[in-house]
């Protein structure tokens, strides 16, 4: 893989004794060229470790050992491995993550070249930093900062992970899951994300606090497997929530 260095001044030296445990996937909402210049400017105060172009080009902005400024804000995080500092605060996720930006906008399709380069990069970072290739460790930016859709509505994170693992890429079965009608109620036992489909590929539509009573019309066992559990409930509104988050 050819990596073009485009050093950004926007980073913190070192990682305050943290090491990267996860890779955050971003979308640029623009071009690779535009991102190069935005990250090169001290005015932007943002960066990422890498940027991947639609044609597969790879640019490096920040050394992996340093803290890039890509996911420092936290809002209603759904990421299971987020590190709290107290009841209301979080350790800055930039300290323990690597960030990869991708050319395009939230609703533009990802090219094969971008999937190939990104998954090669993820594979490389995974083996170098001992980061497992799964959805707890390869995450979308919105899972840390829920007010953004980043990395958008088109990227299939499970496909990226499968490509990086060298596994055959399965079509996402959960796009058209077998629904079983069974009306009932459940109570959330975690802050629960309500989603448009039975997987975590897209941003949550809303989040329910712990202890909320939720009505459902039925379920599928063909949703995304989270901690080995692929059962998801669907609601009258056509939304979904994971059965592991309720009792």
Whole-number minimum distance, CB 26 to Zn ion, in Å?
Answer: 3
- E-strand ranges in the chain read 3-5, 11-12, 22-25, 50-52, 58-60, 67-68, 97-102, 138-140, 180-187, 192-194, 206-208, 213-220, 232-234, 240-242
Segment interacting with Zn ion (CB under 5 A) among 2-10, 48-56, 81-89, 134-142: 134-142
- E-strand ranges in 7-127 read 11-12, 22-25, 50-52, 58-60, 67-68, 97-102
The yes or no reply on residue 49 touching Zn ion (CB under 5 A) is no
**Residue from 205, 247, 245 nearest 227 by CA:** 245
Q: Rule CB under 5 A: choose which of 26, 102, 135, 137 binds Zn ion.
A: 26
Q: Which is nearer to Zn ion, 49 or 141 (CB)?
A: 141
Q: Which is nearer to Zn ion, 35 or 158 (CB)?
A: 35
Q: Which is nearer to Zn ion, 94 or 243 (CB)?
A: 94
Q: Rule CB under 5 A: choose which of 54, 102, 137, 141 binds Zn ion.
A: 141
Whole-number minimum distance, CB 141 to Zn ion, in Å?
Answer: 3
Residues in CB range of 107: below 8 A, 6 or more apart: 152, 153, 154
Q: Which is nearer to Zn ion, 48 or 133 (CB)?
A: 48
Q: What are phi and psi of 91, to 5 degrees?
A: -65, 140
Q: Rule CB under 5 A: choose which of 122, 125, 150, 226 binds Zn ion.
A: 150
Q: Which residues bind Zn ion (CB under 5 A)?
A: 26, 141, 150
């Amino acid at each position: 893989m050819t990596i073009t260095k485009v050093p950004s001044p926007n980073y913190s030296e070192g990682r305050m004794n943290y090491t990267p445990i996860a890779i955050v996937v971003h979308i640029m909402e623009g071009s690779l060229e535009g991102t190069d210049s935005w990250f090169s400017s001290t005015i932007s105060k943002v960066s990422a470790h890498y940027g991947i172009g639609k044609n597969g080009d790879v640019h490096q902005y920040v050394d992996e050992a340093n803290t890039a400024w890509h996911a420092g804000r936290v809002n209603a995080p759904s990421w299971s491995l987020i590190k709290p500092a107290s009841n209301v605060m979080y350790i800055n996720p930039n300290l323990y993550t690597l960030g990869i930006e991708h050319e395009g906008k939230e609703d533009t399709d990802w090219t094969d070249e971008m999937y190939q380069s990104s998954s090669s990069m993820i594979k490389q970072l995974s083996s170098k930093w001992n980061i497992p290739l799964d959805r707890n460790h390869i995450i979308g930016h919105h899972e840390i900062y829920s007010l953004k859709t980043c990395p958008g509505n088109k990227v299939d994170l499970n496909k990226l992970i499968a490509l990086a693992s060298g596994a055959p890429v399965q079509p996402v079965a959960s796009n058209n899951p077998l629904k079983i009608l069974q009306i009932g109620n459940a109570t959330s036992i975690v802050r629960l994300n309500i989603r448009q489909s039975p997987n975590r590929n897209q941003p949550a539509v809303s989040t329910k606090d712990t202890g909320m009573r939720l009505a459902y019309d039925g379920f599928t066992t063909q949703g995304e497997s989270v901690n080995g559990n692929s059962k998801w409930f669907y609601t009258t509104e056509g939304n979904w929530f994971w059965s592991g988050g309720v009792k």
